[in-house]
Copies of this chain bind each other. A is one copy, B any other.
Amino acid sequence: MNITVWNEFRHEQSSEEIAKVYPGGIHEAIAKPLRAAGHNVHTATLDEPEHGLTQECLDKTEVLLWWGHVAHGEVADEVVDRVVARVLDGMGLIVLHSGHFSKVFKRLMGTSCDLKWREAGERELLWVVDPTHPIAEGVGQFIELEHEEMYGEHFDIPVPDELIFVSSFTGGEVFRSGCTYRRGRGKVFYFRPGHEEYPTYHNEDVQRVLQNAVQWARPTQAAQPKYGNAPFLDFSR
């Protein structure tokens, strides 16, 4: 499968501590398990021309993963339009962690996508609430992340089509951590963990979820629905 991992790639260049956790950038850590699964993985970052997301790149991309945090506002509306159009046209989209506030995710959700947060290195437990879902395949009863940023409800998203993970945090907050949506002909998966200061993307369970998620999000080879003025169907054959 042709996969593109997009990362704003700022924290890793401005902070030595973060660069140590993610040498090469978060995108490389995200790409690694997907390459190990045999996919053709391309990376793109904010400071490339067109943020690396040219029409040509997106046309080839079957699933796009998105990590952004401090620079959502710098993503050009033209590129946002292009990404949203490709999702509606069938491209899978996996939105990670602070990507909840990306222009792309907010446009596809239609809500504020706001939430509570706290940077205190709390323990996160991601409980599997849908053990039938292929995105949870091979994962145990829960995923444990010793240190993570807290995200807490209320998470201002539309009701998920499917809810796969629910997190608890040391402080007592909960969060809908793995949510799927269908938008147009495309599938969207939001996956909560992935704060830049912690080695979350090196965690094997997190990597497995990403591997499962790209499989789940692959474009369905369905006929493009026809819209607009429709003549009467002809059954005279």
Contacts and interface: CB of A to CB of B under 8 A. Distances in A.
The main secondary structure of chain A at its interface with chain B is loop
A127 B137 CA distance: 27
A138 B229 contact: no
Nearest to A136: B222
Given A118-B232, A221-B137, A235-B123, A183 B155 contact: no
Interface in A148-177: 150, 152-156, 158-159, 161-163, 166-174, 176
Nearest to A176: B129
A54 interface: no
22 contacts: A109-B110, A110-B110, A114-B227, A115-B227, A116-B227, A116-B229, A117-B228, A117-B229, A118-B229, A123-B235, A127-B153, A129-B155, A131-B154, A131-B222, A138-B221, A146-B235, A153-B166, A154-B225, A158-B158, A158-B183, A166-B176, A168-B174
